[in-house]
Structures are given as C-alpha cells and as structure tokens.
Chain A
Amino acid sequence: MADRIFQPETLAIHAGQIPDVATGARALPIYQTTSFVFDSADHAASLFNLQTFGNVYSRLSNPTVAALEERVAALEGGRAALASASGMAAEAMALMTILQQGDHVVAAGALYGGSVSMLSVNLAKFGITTSFVNATKPEAFAAAIQPNTRALFAESLGNPSMLLLDIGAVADVAHAHGLPLVIDNTVPSPYLCNPIAYGADIVVHSATKYLAGHGTTLGGVMVESGRFPWDNGKFPGMTEPSPGYHGVKFYETFGDFGFCMRARMETLRVFGAALSPMSAWQILQGVETLPLRMERHSRNGMAVARFLQNHPRVSWINYPGLPDHPQHDLLKKQMRALGGEPMASGLLAFGVKGGAAAGEKFIESAQFMSHLVNIGDTRTLISHPATTTHRQLDEAQQRAAGVLPDMVRISVGLEHIDDILWDIDQALGQTAC
C-alpha cells in the first residue's frame, strides 16, 4: 500500500512524534537532560563517528527538540531540520555552515533589521560580504552575483516591508549560478507558504513567532530541501573530509540531509546556540494549532486592513491581502487560500496622518494592543519600527528595508475582531488631538 501523503493540519499535530518508545506516553515527553549514556565503549565510538544515530549531548541533539525539528521539516515539505535557540540563531547556523571567509551573499534589501545587521556587520567582520538588492526584481539578484557568491538570502514575506518575494524566479537565478536560495519564512509560517515547493533550498524560521504563537518562548528552525547539489564544486566543505569532524564527508555520507548534519555537527556543536528541550516542548504546544491560528490571524488581518484603508486618520496601508495591492497576484500564487481568498498573515503596516509623531501617539494610546517588538503572538502587537527594530540602521538603510519614518507595524492577534477594530479606532482618534 502506498504511503499516504498527510495534510498540514495532520502534520502539525503528529509529524515527528509517535508514542514514546520507552513509556508509551502519548504526549511529547520533555527530555530535560544534558547528556545520554553510552551502552558500551564501542557504542560511544560509533555515535561519535556518526555510524549510529543517537543522542550524546543536548547541545547536538535531544529527543524533545527532535520532535520540533521533524515537525517543521514535515510542514515545510523539507528533508530535515535543525532547531536552535532563536530565529537569529537558525539564520546564523544556515549561513555560517554555507559560508567561509572571502565568500559573498546577495540579499534582499527589505529584511528584518537583525538580519541586515548579521550580514552587514557581524559576518562582514569575518570577511563575508553582502550586496543588498531590490527584492522585487529577480534580475537585480542576478546582476549582483559575483564569482565568490555562495548564497542568496531573502524573506518570503518581508517584515515589516510586507514585500513578497517571487520565490520561483529568484530560485531560478540562484540555481542557474549553482547557488542555494535561503528563505526566511517566519511571517507566512509553513502553513501559509512552503518556499521549498517554489525552489528554495534552505528555509529558516523564527519559531518564536507564529510557529509557537503564544509569545512565551524563543526558538528557531532551519530546514533543508534535500535537493541542492552540494557537489557542484562550489562547496568543498560539503564534499571534502571535514577538518571539524574527523574527516567525515557530509554530502557523500548523509546525502540529501548532509547539510543539516553538517550544520549540526560542525556549526551548532561549536557555536552552542542549542534550543532547550523545555522551549522545544512549549513551541510544539503552539505548532499543533498553527493551521487554525493562521486562518484567524489572516481573517483578522484582512478585516483590519479594510478598516484602515477607509479610515480618515490613515495615510497609507500595506497589506498584500488587499485585492488592489500591487503584489496581490503573487500572494495568490504563493500563499494558501481560505475560501478562495489568499491568506496574508496578521502582519500589516500603515502610516498615521501626521507622520512619526502621530504614529507614536497612536501606539501610546492603545488600550489592549501591546507596544512591543515581537510578532505572531495571540495578542495584537503594535510597534514603530523606525525607532525600535530598525533603530540601528540609518534612514537610507531603513528605507531600503522598507521602513518609513511614519510606519506603524501591527501584528493582528486573535482577540475578537470588533474589539481590535475598536482599540485601533479609539487610538487613531487620539492622534487627531
């Protein structure tokens, strides 16, 4: 009998977690342990040699963390995943595994501020340079590729730029040059968009956001498609004996999950950004309801967008769910639909009439909408990116990242839509004073 292909609603609950072998526990046990015993000296040796799969130390792997890794890999349609302590750590694990001194990255200009900093400051310290390009133009990625380019990096749906990436078009550019496309898919979550289906090779998530959904826990996950040909001559670290792991050739030995194994054994093991088992468990409590929540976040997001579109105190609104948004057709192509309408998440950006000062007044006037810098919480969250998440960037960099001085970002939560609209309306009313 052919194996059934399960739907994401089923995978969100079951993937990566069958009843516990030792106890039969149906819910996921929390394996809160640093270390795991060896059965014998030979067992220890073969675990360290990677001849046998098993747990050694929770900085490398842990059964509770593994459940999260496999679940996100399944939801993304990927081959394997690696969890880490935060979304930034996931991005660092992916990029630091691919890249070495002298390499170059072509990245979308409209990125989360932390990602811009990682590329333009932190990786630059180690001799890795980045060209930032207009993410709406696949040809801009192609034009920026150099002989030493080793990765393309972009967000599927930009935070807070709300820019959608034509993933297939940029993947074609990457693959024509023998390069992997790395996509940050945090905002759509794996329920609304699967970048691997459009050609992405590696997907990174801040699991802190919609995947967890409850705003309690930091975490990150990196997923590999299993399809990238790492033996194309540009990635000797994947094909040559590993100096960091006693001569293992990761691509030859582990094939289509060789990249995740190398990221685990070379990068995570050494830099130590491991996810705690308790955190993995808390994130998984959220993942089980991801499909339900994304439908409601998207429905509420759309209602807020329509409300703001017609509000006299609002100067502009950016939400690709609106039919007149310039990227609405791309949204239809790449994002899951509900009742025939593509879902665009609960994230949107708008400007308050009166500029930055009015934007700040709006934020301070909210009653239950929370002024903070997270997204993807059950609660409705509001922030002013120019003075918070993107504060480290100058105004030119902010504009390149899609951040305007008067921009307010809303992560629309799961409260009743009438209450959300009431709070927005009363706060906007106070900006007129």
Chain B
Amino acid sequence: MSDDISTLRRILRGCRTVAIVGLSADWHRPSNFVGKYLQQHGYRIVPVNPRYDSILGERSYKALQDIPFPVDMVDVFRRTEDVLPFAQGAIAIGAKCLWQQIGVKNLQADALVRGAGLDSVMDRCVKIEHARLFGGLHWAGVNTRVISAKRPI
C-alpha cells in the first residue's frame, strides 16, 4: 500500500482516466461527489455500475472488462469483501493503480495488484487526497500535512 505524499502525487498526476466502480448517479452520494470533483479537475471518469446507462455525462459500463479504451486507475466504492474481482479486473485491463476508497481495505487485493506491478492505495478517498495535495482541501481548513517551499503544480 502507498500512502506517502510523493507517491500519492505521482499516482494522481499520472492516472488521468479513472474507472469508478460503484459510482452512484445520486448527486449527494460520496461517490458522485468524487466523480464530479475529478471531472472538474481534468480527469476523465468511467462509471462502472450496471444499474445505469450513463452517470455524470459518461457512459456507464457493466464491468471493467467492457471498457473499450485504456484506464489508468480503478477506484473502488464497494465493501471490502467484494473488492477482489475488481483487483483482478484492474490487472486484466492494464490499469496502473487500484485505489480502495475510505473504509475499504482488502489486503488480498492490495497484495495481488502490487504483485502485478500496480500501485495500490487503500482506505483513502481520491477526491480528498487530490484536494489535500493539490490545494483545495487546505481552503477547507484541513490539516494537509504538506510542508513545502515549492508551489503545488
């Protein structure tokens, strides 16, 4: 698992297409907040949720393997015990990172993807970490733990 600032920055800079497993179409659900936030910060999101045709203006796919273009990161909003198939899917579609959201911490999935050379993040929120390391969360008075004499570009 990666959770230091320089690794998280590298992951968030390098992964521009993000498949969101379990993305909700309901605007005030946390997953929808994350999708909307990522779109506003220049990321392409790819909903993976069989219950919808499209979410946040993007076509929704039934499974990771159905996505017909490369995906950099698989961001998982599912219960910890349900994560493993998406770890296998992330490897199968050539993703560079498996990201398990806050409260999601499947150690088997973590070991599996790291063994396959992927980055792995657990129990963190993509939106909160992006905002923490690239500026926005600071405006909400949050302790970002960023100590630096360089601009966050």
Where the two chains meet, the residues of A that have a C-beta atom closer than 8 Å to any C-beta of B are 1-4, 6, 10-11, 14-16, 18-21, 24, 26, 42-43, 46, 49-55, 61, 63, 66, 69-70, 73-74, 78-83, 241, 247-249, 252-253, 255, 257, 260-261, 264
Contact = CB atoms under 8 A, between A and B. Distances in A.
B140 A53 contact: yes
Contacts of A257: 140-142
A74 B143 CA distance: 6
B141 A66 contact: yes
B30 A52 contact: no
Interface in B132-153: 135-153
Contacts of A252: 30
B33 interface: yes
B142 A70 contact: yes
Nearest to A62: B139
Interface residues of B, number: 35
B149 A19 contact: yes
B5 A61 contact: no
Contacts of A49: 27-28, 36
Max chain A CB contacts within 10 Å: which of B41, B131, B144?
B144
B142 A247 contact: no
A51 B144 CA distance: 18
B24 to A, nearest CB: 12
Interface in B18-45: 27-28, 30, 32-33, 36-37, 40-41
- Report which residue of B5, B28, B131 has the largest number of chain A beta carbons within 10 angstroms of its beta carbon: B28
Contacts of B142: 70, 73, 79-80, 257, 260
Nearest to B137: A53
B152 A21 contact: yes
Given A3-B5, A26-B149, A247-B28, 9 more contacts: A18-B148, A18-B149, A19-B150, A20-B151, A46-B36, A50-B33, A51-B27, A61-B139, A253-B28
B116 interface: no
Nearest to A241: B28
Contact of A51 (B33, B138, B146): B33
B111 interface: no
B102 interface: yes
B36 A70 contact: no
Contacts of B32: 51
Contact of A1 (B4, B138, B151): B4
B151 A54 contact: no
Nearest to A11: B147
20 contacts: A3-B5, A6-B147, A18-B147, A18-B150, A26-B149, A51-B27, A52-B37, A52-B40, A61-B141, A69-B141, A73-B141, A73-B143, A78-B143, A80-B141, A81-B143, A252-B30, A253-B28, A255-B102, A255-B128, A260-B141
A283 to B, nearest CB: 14
B141 A55 contact: no
Contacts of A78: 143
A204 to B, nearest CB: 14
